[in-house]
């Protein structure tokens, strides 16, 4: 089974969704529509990455209106935005899974760290016991022996 980051790379092409997955699909789609993919592919990707959700469809319609008929323009723009959204949701899901895995690994490492008990010699134990015994019987009215 592929690692989650490999799945994201396969689904999106790269972590930002621009690589071979969505990018190649967009290139093929633009070529099929007769649009110069080298120029407009990068432009469309920029719009998809930078624009707010509500503005993406309008921006794409503005870009592709010179190349497409009015009746097919809206459907093609919706198709591009939907495909982009699907790609981004896969990338986001995989990133969350990677974060959870990183946290789990960190917790496991912390659990493995064991504090070794300090070895106390008999002499140190006796000194500690003597000190505690010396001050254990002191009351507020007595003075400390100095």
| 63 belongs to a structural domain | yes
| 76 belongs to a structural domain | yes
pLDDT tens digits for range 31-71: 888 888 888 888 888 888 887 777 888 888 888 887 778 88
Structure-block tokens of residue 89: 């949701």
**Residue 64 and residue 70: Cα distance in Å, rounded?**
10
Confidence of residue 120 (pLDDT cuts 50, 70, 90): confident
| 138 belongs to a structural domain | no
| 34 belongs to a structural domain | yes
pLDDT tens digits for range 81-96: 888 888 887 777 778 8
In this prediction, residue 139 carries a pLDDT of 61
Task: Tell me whether residue 29 is exposed, middle or buried, using C-beta atoms within 10 angstroms of its C-beta: 0 to 12, 13 to 18, 19 or more.
Answer: middle
Number of domains composing the chain: 1
| 68 belongs to a structural domain | yes
| 133 belongs to a structural domain | no
Q: What are the residue ranges of helices labelled H in 19-140? A: 20-33, 37-50, 53-64, 70-112, 122-136
pLDDT tens digits for range 123-138: 998 998 888 888 876 5
| 15 belongs to a structural domain | no
Confidence of residue 78 (pLDDT cuts 50, 70, 90): confident
| 46 belongs to a structural domain | yes
Write out the residue range of the structural domain in which residue 72 sits: 20-112
User: Under a CB-based contact definition with an 8 Å cutoff, are residues 25 and 19 in contact?
Assistant: no
Model confidence at 1: pLDDT above 60: no
């Amino acid at each position: 089974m592929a690692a989650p980051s490999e799945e994201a790379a396969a689904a999106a092409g790269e972590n930002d969704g621009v690589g071979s997955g969505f990018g190649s699909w967009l290139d093929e789609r633009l070529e099929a529509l007769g649009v110069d993919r080298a120029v407009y592919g990068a432009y469309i990707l920029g719009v998809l990455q930078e624009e707010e959700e509500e503005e993406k469809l309008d921006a794409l319609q503005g870009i592709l209106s010179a190349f497409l008929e009015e009746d097919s323009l809206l459907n093609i723009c919706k198709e591009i935005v939907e495909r982009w959204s699907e790609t981004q949701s896969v990338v986001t899901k995989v990133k969350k899974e990677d974060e959870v895995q990183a946290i789990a690994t960190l917790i496991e490492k912390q659990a493995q760290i064991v504090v070794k008990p300090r070895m106390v010699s008999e002499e140190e134990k006796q000194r500690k016991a003597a000190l505690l015994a010396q001050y254990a019987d002191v009351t507020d009215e007595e003075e400390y022996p100095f």
